[in-house]
């Protein structure tokens, strides 16, 4: 048997299904109702629901405002029935009269530092300390310590080393005359060692620098005189 399904029957079935779904969301409309009447009725029903909701909220607010606060008297003493704080709860601190007054924080506990212990219980080697200062570039303090050691009763080798280091400190600080004097004292000594050899080498270096400085000064003076003659010759 052949079943023929027309397009109109399918469309009618779809319309019925759509109305069934829409009926769950909107009130069902009769066949005589037009689209405008259906929309108007839906709007009216929604307004009624909103109005009932507003009335319920308003009645709730009215019941809340009906609860009045009992009148109090400033001179009335509090009754014994007032609720107090439990003994285990701390009391609320009173407010300061001036809230802008800074409140100082409690001082932090000071750490307990260990007692200072001496680096060594033996006498300090002042010559080694002076050499360390010289090697570190602290020429001024090294020179002061060397000069103190120069007055002490020390062996000949240490005395010569101290004299040599004093001359080196003076040379580093620009005291050329004092350095040259100490270098010559070591160079003319009867002991011929590395200290005497270094002293003679520095004397030669100082002499060459002195001669070079003198030559530069002489050449500078000659150039200045030549420039002056040229300016005078070609002056307008």
Computed from CA positions of residues 117, 119, 121, 124, in that sequence, does the dihedral angle turn out positive or negative? Answer: negative
pLDDT at 27 over 80: no
Q: What is the fold of 126-228?
A: 1.25.40
Q: How far, in Å, CA of 36 to CA of 56, rounded?
A: 31
Domain spans of the chain, in order of start: 126-228
**Secondary structure of residue 173 in the 3-state scheme:** coil
pLDDT at 199 over 90: yes
Q: How far, in Å, CA of 39 to CA of 20, rounded?
A: 17
pLDDT digits (tens, 9 = 90+) for 129-166: 999 999 999 999 999 999 999 888 889 999 999 999 99
Give me the pLDDT at residue 101, please: 56
List C-alpha distances in Å: 4 to 1, 8, 10, 13, 227: 10, 12, 11, 15, 128
């Amino acid at each position: 048997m052949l079943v023929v399904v027309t397009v109109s029957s399918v469309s009618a079935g779809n319309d019925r299904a759509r109305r069934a779904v829409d009926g769950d969301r909107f009130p069902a409309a009769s066949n005589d109702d037009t689209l405008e009447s259906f929309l108007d009725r839906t709007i009216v029903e929604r307004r009624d629901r909103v109005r009932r909701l507003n009335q319920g909220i308003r009645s709730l607010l009215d019941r809340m405002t009906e609860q009045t606060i009992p009148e109090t008297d400033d001179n009335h003493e509090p009754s014994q029935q007032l609720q107090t704080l439990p003994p285990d709860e701390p009391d609320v601190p009173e407010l300061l009269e001036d809230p802008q007054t800074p409140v100082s924080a409690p001082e932090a506990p000071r750490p307990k530092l260990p007692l200072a212990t001496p680096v060594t219980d033996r006498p300090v080697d002042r010559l080694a300390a002076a050499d360390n200062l010289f090697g570190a570039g602290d020429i001024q303090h090294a020179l002061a310590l060397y000069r103190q050691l120069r007055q002490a009763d020390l062996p000949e080798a240490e005395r010569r080393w101290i004299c040599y280091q004093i001359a080196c400190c003076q040379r580093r600080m620009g005291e050329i005359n004092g350095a040259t004097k100490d270098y010559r004292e070591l160079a003319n000594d009867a002991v011929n060692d590395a200290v005497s050899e270094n002293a003679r080498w520095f004397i030669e270096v100082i002499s060459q620098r002195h001669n070079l400085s003198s030559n530069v000064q002489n050449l500078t003076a000659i150039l200045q005189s030549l420039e002056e003659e040229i300016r005078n010759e070609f002056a307008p």
